[in-house]
Chain A
Amino acid sequence: MIKLNVNGQIREIDADPDTPLLWVLREWIGLTGTKYGCGVAQCGACTVHIDGVATRSCSLPAGSVGAARVTTIEGLSSDGLSHPVQVAWLQHEVPQCGYCQSGQIMAAASLLAEKPSPTDTDIAEMITNICRCGTYQRVKEAIHTAAALAGPVGGPSGGKS
């Protein structure tokens, strides 16, 4: 039995502790917004927050999470739209097929929590998720917009290198 705190809810799950968190989220809890892309922490489609930090859940044993807070795309904002990253993503029409976007959004939200006004270099270093449709240009622009929306630290134009 694994005990997890997912999106603020305590879940008791009857799965082998070695089961990657990704599959516990998708198949045991039914939260399918977190995606499978590679299974080897390469693509980032499975990105969730562990205590606020972007983490690739496909390679993280669920049993190792302990009491840490797990946040998935479903728990990023109450309505699925109002996190500054989601607002900026809609404004810039970032998604194409959309499959990688949960991971991109979670990675971006974590980056902004750590660096409220990231430079292009920060973004290039921190956002390593694969998008086969090639939305990277809009991902970058939307992160700058989200930084401005989120408020005062960087200012509206803050941080763009």
Chain B
Amino acid sequence: MTQTTQFGRRFFLTAAAVAGGGFSLGWSAPEAAAQAAGGSELGIWAVIHADDTVVVRIARSEMGQGTLTGLAQLVADELDADWRFVKAEYVAPDVNYANKRAWGDMSTGGSRGIRASVDYVRKGGAAARAMLIEAAAKKWSVPAGECTTAMSVVTHTPTGRTLRYGELAADAAKLPVPADVAVKTPAQWTLIGRGVKRLDTVEKLSGKLVYAIDLQLPDMLNASIAQSPVFGGKLKSFDAAKIKGMPGVRYVVPVGDDAVAVVADKWFQANTALAALPIVWDEGKNGDVDSAQIAAFLKEGLDAKEAALCQAHGDVSAAFAGSAKKIEAVYGAPFLNHATLEPMTATAKYADGKVEVWVSSQNGDASLAAAAEAAGVKLDAVKVNKHHLGGGFGRRGQQDYTRQAVLIAKQIPGRPIKLIWSREEDMQHGFYRPITQCKLTGSLDADGNVTGLHARISGQSILAYLAPARMENGVDRIAFQGWIPGEFGYQAIPNLKIDHAVRNTHVPVGFWRGVNTNQNTIYMECFIDELAHAAGKDPIEFRRKLMAKAPKHLAVMNAVTERAGWGTPLPKGVFRGFAQNCGFGSYTAAVAEVSVSAKGALKIHRIVAATDPGYAVNPDQIAAQVEGSFVYGLSATLYSEITIQKGRAVQGNFDTYEVMRLADMPKVETVIVPSGGFWGGVGEPTIAVAGPAVLNAIFAATGKRIRTLPLSHHDLRPA
């Protein structure tokens, strides 16, 4: 029994959803798949079957963030569908391509899954509903305006007659799809705002969900890859004869100009043989680079004359010169790996000028393009099968592993080749969270009011590495996440300057869940705390003044501090810290309660986190994202870093790249304060406040300012 889903072919996600928040054990996937095989298309977003099953099509990727369920809720709400009958299926990227991208952007990053699709998917649901009403009205020969819908039933109100959606779907599908239909007002929503159960949980409890790494196809071979250990290095040579005859080994092949793969009957055999394969690398010019050099390179940028401007108003130099007190601090954050638990993996089959891939990808369009390019075929010669992701966090927006699988498969035509990266390859060949340092300078007047603030980032630019065409006159806007006007909460500071000395290293960088809001919020929120301390003021009261032009930031701060009881007594030895940010269209804030023993043992007792995502589609899934954000954000704050020696990543596995485990996770209380009127993301924005809330609490507890991460550098360890 499998349940991947791609419409037009392949298998189905079986919905274990039930109404009313209960749970059911009564579904059966094979039957569900059989039922789903037919159905009537009402527009492009919904398929309705005679048994009332509603299949909602999903163009984005599910990687744990719940977007599949949330998007289905949006469509089903407009459709007035009975949630018990709702299932979901992926739109295949090649079907999207063949239909002029009718289902829109497939890229799943930047917490955009819902907020960037919300208009067109709801219209899709509303159009399908209009078609069902029209079909019923025709059948009854009554005006459509006399018909209403609820729970997958059309009712002719004057007579009380009813027809189920399943009874109407075939007729409705013959009608034209209305071009422009109105969507509901928030007061009319029945599913949006409800914490319905996810559609894809059951298969994750039985081991039956087929992730890309689990794929088994007839005649499939398995590949393990070694890439140049020094970033940017090339493959010089390898001695395949040395591993010929090892169990299961079939082929040893170069992969592009910087990698080599062993292909064997089983992946374990391929990986074992790869370890024994003599390989010579051309390290290029970066074989001597280490973390100390990179740190010195960034440090120079902190005072460099040239810098890309984010925003400026007033005159910070004059403010500093005339201030009663001037504070300066330098912060820094290291490279980080995404470390998805499912390592990079893709399967490819090349035959007769066509290529088919099976991938876990955050961007189906990019997988299609990568496969076509690697195979040297046109886009319409590619089929892409999407699988649920075993974690994404931004890493799987890049399709290097899909490209490699195709490059290998093209050398072994006719057989599917499953490429799995070992954990070590995954750890040492990431698109890392960029390393940056930040120098912050602030000034206070005699009353402790902030008169000026300058934040200078020095460090690597994601866009310069991944998408130079998106740089605007040398400015990487993404470097300033959280700080651009509209996001920045302290715009009321009278003299303000934020800029970035771009300092690119040879280390690949990319979008790491939360991206630059993570480092920036640590820098800003800890430094604002430093200013509050210098002014002798309570950190919340101090911020309140600075938020004079930021009512939504202020509202979230008020909500979280009220729930946390800011200012109320705590048990002896326990201290609070606060942080807030706006990113990915949402407002977030957190209060941390920590204690630190005399020996430096840190215990985080409690986290209260508030978020204003505008509209909250599924409060329970938002809570899950907020809870998980503290694990991701605090892993980065407390333990994780990638360091560079001899041009390569030092850490290779979870023994050296440490992450948070259950024992250290604090209790997280989620406060959702949807203020309405906008759609914000929820998968990323909370991560940014996790670190600084805890760091500010550590300062309150110890008087010690942690300005470089991770915390394990500072003789502080979780208790």
Contacts and interface: CB of A to CB of B under 8 A. Distances in A.
Are A and B interaction partners?
A: yes
Contact of A27 (B210, B267, B624): B267
Contacts, number: 180
A55 B715 CA distance: 33
Interface of A is mostly: loop
Interface residues of A, number: 60
Interface in B357-400: 388-393
Nearest to A18: B272
A9 interface: no
Interface stretch (B70-78, B575-583, B661-669): B661-669
A72 B208 CA distance: 12
Contacts of A35: 211, 213, 341-342, 390
B663 A124 contact: yes
Interface residues of B, number: 62
Contact of A96 (B247, B628, B667): B628
B356 interface: no
B197 interface: yes
B642 interface: no
A107 B667 CA distance: 21
A72 B214 CA distance: 15
A42 B655 contact: yes
B207 A34 contact: yes
B391 A82 contact: no
B207 A74 contact: yes
A28 B247 CA distance: 14
B20 to A, nearest CB: 13
A35 B198 CA distance: 22
A98 B208 CA distance: 11
Contacts of B665: 134, 136-137
Nearest to B69: A93
A134 B43 CA distance: 37
Contact of B624 (A93, A101, A124, A128): A93
A28 B216 CA distance: 11
Interface in A91-141: 91, 93, 95-102, 105, 123-125, 127-140
Contacts of B16: 90
A155 B655 CA distance: 38
Max count, chain A CB within 10 A of own CB: residue among B204, B340, B341, B390: B341
Nearest to A86: B205
A32 interface: yes
B672 interface: no
Interface stretch (B59-67, B288-296, B585-593): B59-67
B653 interface: yes
A79 B268 CA distance: 30
B205 A97 contact: no
A134 B206 contact: no
Contacts of B629: 134
A89 to B, nearest CB: 5
B422 interface: yes
A6 B48 CA distance: 41
A33 B628 contact: no
Given A23-B268, A74-B206, A133 B628 contact: yes
Interface of B: 16, 23, 25, 63-66, 197-198, 200-211, 213-214, 216, 222, 247, 266-268, 339-343, 388-393, 420, 422-423, 620, 624, 627-632, 653-655, 659-663, 665, 667-668
10 nearest A-B residue pairs (beta carbon): A33-B207, A134-B631, A80-B206, A97-B64, A98-B204, A99-B390, A134-B628, A96-B64, A73-B207, A32-B214
Interface of A: 16, 19-20, 23, 26-28, 30-40, 42-43, 45, 72-74, 79-82, 86-87, 89-91, 93, 95-102, 105, 123-125, 127-140
